[in-house]
Amino acid sequence: MRLTTKGRYAVTAMLDLALHDGKGPISLADISERQGISLSYLEQLFAKLRRNELVRSVRGPGGGYQLKREQASIKVAEVIDAVNESVDATGCQHSGNCQGGEVCLTHHLWCDLSEQIHSFLSSISLADLVERRDVQEVAGRQQRQVEQLIASSTEQPVSPKVAV
């Protein structure tokens, strides 16, 4: 069973957006920098998230994305579903052709597990994740790293004095 990169990145990007909620629109470039996700990949994900009404875009200078609903009403499973992903524990992607075109002995077990995982992810909101101490600590570390990067790129090199 795997959650694909697409699903992981979508949840990560949405959590980043939730962590910065209330600070105005957040650019995908900022999310990309903090989370190490390519900008073009984020653009693809956010097109799907926008179509599924999880985010809204704000155009113009200072534009970016915002959550379309309250953090507490956006569930992790919705985010994964919005980018056309599923958490599937079966080896046949629920098709039932696991063993020579027929259902295998454990097919229904893995289907039940997939449903349990989806149910679990449906019970967790972005607000639940934002409130977690471990998430707050990681977000703080990421913000400090970005600030250090910005500070180091804006420092002017000091030229040594030359005696005349």
Report the CATH number that the domain containing residue 48 is assigned in CATH: 1.10.10.10
Q: Does an H or E element contain 3, and which?
A: none
Tell me: the pLDDT tens digits for 24-79? 999 999 999 999 999 999 999 999 999 999 999 999 888 999 999 999 999 999 99
- Residue 161 belongs to a domain: no
**Cβ neighbours, 10 Å, residue 14:** 28
Provide the domain limits for residue 14.
Answer: 5-87+104-154
Q: How far is the C-alpha of 55 from the C-alpha of 50, rounded, in Å?
A: 5
- Residue 164 belongs to a domain: no
pTM: predicted TM-score of the whole model, two decimal places: 0.85
Q: Is the pLDDT of residue 93 over 70?
A: yes
Q: How far is the C-alpha of 17 from the C-alpha of 28, rounded, in Å?
A: 9
Amino acid 164: pLDDT: 46
- Residue 116 belongs to a domain: yes
